[in-house]
Amino acid sequence: MNSTAGDISAEAKKRGKLLVLLEQAQDKLGCLPKEFMARLAASLGLSISEVYGLATFYSFLSPGPSGRNVIRVCKSLPCYLKDLLIESVKREIGVGPGETTSDGRFSFELTNCIGACDQAPAMMVNHDVYGGLTPEELPRILERYK
């Protein structure tokens, strides 16, 4: 194996490890502060822009603080056609997409897909998926996340 192929393989391993490390940090810290991303980039020998680019590409990663519970409503076509869910969540928690409640209990985000198209309309709260939702179910579901 020549050195170029070895260099490419080492770079691919760093990038593969990067997503896992970002997910772990997100779970532990609640977000991905710029200082953390800079330290991570240095430790992996990557540029800060590479780390920041990956962290901001995925909607499940957040460079800024979020509420204790993150509500993600799918905006893919099957769920979007049933957009009553977005208005229902907004009405229930008092904030719209991209916002966090004043008590820090919930952040509300729209995401491209949560992998539950067959259960549209669907949403996630943290890592829990809820599908086939109706507005009447929201208060009961959100009560679980105090």
- Whether the CB-CB separation of 11 and 44 falls below 8 Å is answered with no
**What are the helix (H) ranges across 1-146?**
3-29, 34-44, 48-57, 77-80, 84-93, 138-143
Say what the pLDDT of residue 12 is: 60
What local confidence, expressed as pLDDT, does residue 10 receive? 66
Q: Quick one: pLDDT at residue 103?
A: 94
> Which residue stretches of the chain have pLDDT < 70?
1-15, 59, 79-83
Please tell me the predicted confidence (pLDDT) of residue 8: 57
Widest distance between CA atoms in the chain = 62
**Looking up tokens 């869910």, which residue turns up?**
85
